[in-house]
Structure 1
Amino acid sequence: MSSSIDAELASWGDRMFFGMPKKGKKGAPDPRIMAGKVRTSLRVAVSPKASQVMVKITGGGKGLGAIGAHMRYISRQGKQEVGGPGKTLEVEDERGNILTGKDDIAALREDWRMAGTPIPDESHRREAFNIILSMPGGTPSDGVRDSAREFAAELFRGHRYAFVLHEDTDSPHVHLVVRAERSDGVRLNPKIADLRRWRRVFAERLQDRGINAIAMRAASRGQRRAPQPIWRLKTSSVIRKERGPERSQESIRRGRDEALAAWAQVQEILKRSQSPQDQQLANEVSKFVERTLLPGKVISAGGANVGDDARGPKRSR
């Protein structure tokens, strides 16, 4: 029974969470390992204090001129908040070196020029990727920075990269810039599946530090608004704007019904398990669904009793 439960949980993992391992060159992952990852993700997801991670590629420099400009931007070079002309925030590179001041940033840019295939001032291709890793307000900034450090070391081994923590907005976030070409000449070319895996890895590194972070698909968590826009992470918290319009009621209802069906299947699988921990997790899943996706409603594995709620789902917290 245990192996069957593990296999069923593993099969549902990628439908609900970002970046779950899939079949690779060496064959399918061990269902027990997969099921363990799903259980961990479920426990974090159903916690009332769970927070969704954000990992986004925001652009990338085509040439050293653009790369240098981005390095100056993320280091806040010359801004009053860091002390004025010549001053910067602390920037950390892949070797753990701490760089401060305009001379260090200029040296970093020039190091990148010849760190592999030379990068011209202007290029026809993307020579670096600009990435933001963010968590909601209230998340410990040190935890975000340290998790980002491990995230980069794990995913961009062999690349030159640099990162800096920003605490000037409501959400602590890290700007990470990665040289596209690896030391062996292979170039970074991220796809959607890679971004999903990046979100999962970032969430896991945060979880290692006791931070309730999760990388879950929007429908699975009952989200009805778009994620926090990038401008909020690039603008001082003094500036405020209202969020954009919510999704249509039809879109909300369709996403909610799909999410309810998925959660119901997972709950049913856990309830069939002989493990007391799985039984407890099934109860926590039920409570999560009631307070997040459809308050006051009972779900079934077949998706019955979903009902209509003119208000739409509550916003996930």
Structure 2
Amino acid sequence: MARDYEDEITHWAEKLFYPVSLKGKVPKKDTTSKKLGATTAKAFTSHARIRAQIARTTRRTPEVMVKITNRLGAGKGMAAIREHLAYISRNSKLELETDAGELISDKASREAYTREWQEQVRGKPIAEVSPRREAFNIILSMPAGTPPDKVREAASEFLKEEFGGRHRYCFVLHIDTDKPHVHACVLATPLTKAKRLNPRKADLQRWREGFAEQLRQRGIDANATPRRTRGATHRTQRQTMHHAIKRQHLQFMQVANQVGWPRVYKSALEAWERLARVMRETPTQTHRDAANQIEDFVTGREPIIPRKR
């Protein structure tokens, strides 16, 4: 029987970009992950999508950042929400855009909007101080040099797709740093009978993927891969290591093989190596070029984009 290279490529790519459980099942849905599961897994297994994902990662495409701000008391009651909206709008010096597309640019309108939020929930109005989160403050960011207008457009469409018609939200673009970013505030209580917003790690990754997709649709090269897949960590570095990294890329191999480093990095390295091996054995020159790109990526060499044939 002829060897199915595409199936082997899909297998190892899934381990890198869409990990499955030991039983071969896709991750179970959590309280808010509406797009995880078989549908997303099937969509990812498109050979074109897999090749594009590999290419973006090995050429070190800029990664999107999506995070929930965890400042003490964030979103815990209407007083905190009101304070946050005042902060991200710079006391109405910046326009807030709502889920209805309305622009709020003055203090009176902002206060009226927060009163609307407080009352427009199922059940009791939001208390001034609450023991639980009544809203989530989310930041969507791209590296320096990304056109701010594209970041705002991509964030707007992502928020509409993810929360539109289900949760009230508003957002604003900030360009006061070199990295253009959007601050969004999303109410936890849904507009209709459904579960409260309760994001987990899987949700954050899915949000990153959604935001990156919207940026790519606007001509901005953007990626959203797990840190372990690209050999990146948050581990505190010694000063000597810090300067070494500034001089050259930290090799994926070095990260994965450090004593005591999490096993997931070694698993990711193995998946990259297996993926490169399969692609190098295919009769397709495009796949063999991709295998070379993977080798450069895991050893820390600067990517060389092959010329189109």
TM-score normalised by L of structure 2: 0.74
Aligned partner of 2:140: which letter? L
The corresponding residue for 2:101 is 96
Does 2:47 correspond to 1:38? no
Q: Which amino acid aligns with 1:22?
A: V
Corresponding residue number in structure 2 for 1:161? 169
Q: Tell me whether 64-73 or 103-112 shows the greater mean CA deviation.
A: 103-112
Does structure 1 residue 22 correspond to structure 2 residue 31? no
User: Matches of 1:19 and 1:177 in 2, distance apart?
Assistant: 30
Compared CA separation, residues 220 and 23, structure 1 to 2 (3 A):
closer
Partner of 2:226: 217
**Structure 2 stretches of 5 or more lacking a match?**
30-35, 237-241, 246-254, 304-309
Q: Tell me, in whole angstroms, the C-alpha distance in 1 between the residues paired with 2:137 and 2:182.
A: 11
Q: 1:97 to 1:260 in 2, by over 3 A?
A: same
The question of 1:261 aligning with 2:270 is answered: yes
Q: CA deviation at 1:258?
A: 4.1
Matches within 5 A, 1:76-225: 76-77=90-91, 87-117=92-122, 118-157=125-164, 158-186=166-194, 187-225=196-234
Alignment map for 1:229-308 (pairs within 5 Å): 250=259, 257-292=266-301
AA partner of residue 217 (structure 2): D
The answer on whether the counterparts of 1:147 and 1:206 sit within 8 Å (CA) in structure 2 is yes
Note if contact 1:260-1:289 (Cα within 8 Å) is conserved in structure 2: yes
Aligned sequence identity (%): 39
Flag the 1:63–1:99 CA change in 2: closer, same or farther, 3 A.
same
1:240-276 CA-partner distances (Å, limit 9, x unpaired):
xxx89x9995356977644432211121232344444
**3-state DSSP class of the match of 2:297?**
helix
AA matched with 2:221: N
Structure 1 residue 101, shift from structure 2 partner:
1.6
Pairwise CA distance, 1:182: 1.3
| Aligned residues of 1:63 and 1:126 also touching (Cα < 8 A) | yes
Deviation string, structure 1 residues 37-58 (Cα, Å, up to 9, x no partner)? 332211211225x112111111
SS in 2 for 1:216: coil
Q: How many residues align?
A: 269
More displaced 10-residue stretch of structure 1: 211-220 or 67-76: 211-220
User: What amino acid sits opposite 2:163 in the alignment?
Assistant: F
Instruction: Pick one of 54, 64, 88 that aligns with 2:65.
Output: 54
Alpha-carbon distance change, 206 to 3 in structure 1, aligned in 2, over 3 angstroms: farther
Structure-1-length-normalised TM-score: 0.73
Q: Are residues 76 and 280 of structure 1, via their aligned partners in 2, closer, same or farther at CA, if it must alter by over 3 Å?
A: same
- Rounded Cα–Cα distance in structure 2 between residues aligned with 1:53 and 1:253: 23
1:191/1:24 Cα in 2 relative to 1: closer, same or farther (>3 Å)?
closer
* Equivalent-residue separation in structure 2 for 1:163 and 1:264 (angstroms): 42
Q: Runs of 5+ in structure 1 lacking a partner?
A: 78-86, 228-242, 296-317
Partner Cα distance (2:84, 2:100) in 1: 20
- For the 8 Å contact 1:94–1:161, the answer to whether it is kept is yes
String of CA shifts for 1:147-197, please: whole Å, max 9, x gaps: 111111111131100011111112111111001111113211111111111
